[in-house]
Amino acid sequence: HGSFQQPFVQLSHSSTMSSNNNTKHLQYHSGFNNQHASEALKGALPDFQNTPQKCPFGLYAEQLQGSSFTAPREHNFRSWLYRIRPTASYPEFKPLKKSSSKIQCSFPTNEYTSPRRYRWMPVDIPNEKTDFIDGIFTIAGAGNAAMKSGFATHLYAISDDMYNSTDKKRVMINADGDFLLVPEHGALYIKTEFGDLEVHPKEIAVIPRGVRFAINPLNGTARGYICELFQGHFELPGLGPIGANGLANPRDFLYPTARYEESDDKVQVVHKMQAKLFETQTWSPFDVVAWHGNYAPYKYDLTKFCAVNSVTFDHIDPSVFTVLTAQSPVAGTAVVDFVIFPPRWGVAENTFRPPYFHRNTMSEYMGLITGNYEAKMATSKKGGFVPGGGSLHNCMSGHGPEIRVFEKESTKKLEPERVGDGSLAFMFESMYHFNVTKFGAQEATLDEDYAEVWSDVKKNFNPNERGV
C-alpha cells in the first residue's frame, strides 16, 4: 500500500552523525537550533527560495511556524516542509469518540493546592494494550495552555504501538505546547514528519508544538516523564563566567533526517487542543520528502553533559546542572528549568557535600531515571524515592537531605569521591506554584510516609560548645 524512502542527507547545510544507541542506523543532524536542511530525495529542496512557483517533484511547500512572524530573530522558529500533500487538505476534525486520557492543561487553584511535600511511587505499566495517547497521566502543573502560559508535568506508561505496518496507524498533534520526554523504562521509537528519533533512558527528546508524531515502545513497554511547556520554547542556559564551553554542548543535540512514506492507508490523526482530543481519518502525514529550518524535534544524550562543580568549598546551587531552560520575561527566572544530577566527582573541602536544607521561591518536581539519588537514603513503607517515582516541593516548602544522609555526611572523613555513579536524577524547576491534579492527589500511588524521613531530626544546639 505504500513505499518507505531512505534518506538522502544534504551535508552542505548541516553535519550528520549516528546515535551511539540506535539499532536502526538512523542518521541525525547535529547542532542545537541550527538551520538544518535535509532531503530524502536528492533535489527535493528548492535551490534558494522557499515557495517557488512549482516545487521539485510536484511537492507542496508548507511552513510550520513555532513563533510569531515578527519575533526577534534569536526567538524566531520556523521550518519549511516539502510534502506530497499539504495538511490543509485533511478532513475536518471531530471530538475523539473513545479516550481514556487523563491529560490536563489548565491548573487553577483547587482543593489539592497545598504546601504538602509529595512523593509518588511509579505508575504501573498497563497489562492491556495502551498506546502513548491513552497512556499519559497529568500529575501537576501551572498556568493555562490556552493563554500559552506555564507548563504541565505528566507521566506516561505504555504497552502498545501508535504506528506500525500491521494493525495500527495513529498519529498525534499537540497544539498546547512542546513535549520534553524523559524515558525511565524502555526505549522509544519516535516517528515524526521530519524523520525518526530513537530515544533510550538517559536520553531526552523534545517534540515542538504542532509537529505530527507517533511513538512506539521499542521493547513492548515504556514508562517515563513529560514536561509540557506552554510558554515559549526550551533553550540552552547562558554560561556567564563559566565561559564558552560546558554543561550541554550544542553539537550533541541531534535532529532527524528526512524520511517519507507515500501511502494512502487510512491513518487516525489525533489533535490535542486545550487537553481535548479530536480526530480525523486521512493518509499518512509522514510524507515530507525534504525540509529545512530551525523548528524540528531533537534528542540529547544526558551522559554527554559536562558538569561543573566546586573544587574548593561549599555546595554549588543546582542551577549549574541545567540542561535546558525556558525563560520568563523576568531575567534569569525560568518558566521551567530541566536540571539533571549526573555522576561526577565531589572534592569540596570542609563542606556538607549533598544538597543542603533549603526553602526556595522556585518549585521543584524531581524524578529518578536510574539508581539512587545522593540525598535520599531512607525507605518508607511505600519504598522511598525510586526510578519512575517522583517528588514535589512547592514554593517555600522546606526540604533537604533525609536525616540519615545528613548524619552520615556531617561526620564522615572527606576525601575526593565519586558522587552518583549508577544514578541519574532530574528536576523540573519552575517559578510557578505546581497545582496537583486529582490524579496526582487521589489516583496515583502516594508515599503517605514521606515527611517521616525528617521526623528524627535531633536538636544539636549547645550554646557552650562551638563544636567546629
Do 290 and 330 touch, CB atoms closer than 8 A?
A: no
Active site residue 315: yes
CA distance 170 to 172: 7
Strands 363-370 and 344-346: unpaired
Measured at the CA of 131, the angle between CA 129 and CA 137, to 5 degrees, comes to 110
Distance (Å, whole) CA 223 – CA 183: 6
3-state helix, strand, coil in the chain (%, to 5): 10, 40, 55
Full DSSP string of 15-66: -EEE-SS-SS--EEEESTT--EEEESSTT-S-SS-SS-SS-GGG-EEEEEES
Task: Spot the catalytic one: 315, 358, 399, 433.
Answer: 315
**Residue 140: φ, ψ to 5°:** -170, 170
Q: Compute CA distances 143 → 105, 147, 275, 310, 372, whole Å.
A: 8, 8, 13, 35, 32
**Whether 294 contacts 70, CB under 8 Å:** no
DSSP 454: G
Q: How do strand 363-370 and strand 36-39 relate by DSSP bridges?
A: unpaired
Which three-class secondary structure state does DSSP give residue 334? strand
Do residues 248 and 323 lie in contact, with contact meaning Cβ atoms separated by under 8 Å?
A: yes
- The Cβ-side half-sphere exposure at 105, using a 13 Å CA radius, reads 22
Between CA 85 and CA 92, with CA 87 as vertex, the angle to 5 degrees is 125
Amino acid residing at 396: M
Give the whole-angstrom CA distance, residue 157 versus residue 135.
5
Distance CA 108, CA 119 (A): 21
Neighbours of 183 (CB within 10 A): 21
Q: Which residues are catalytic?
A: 315
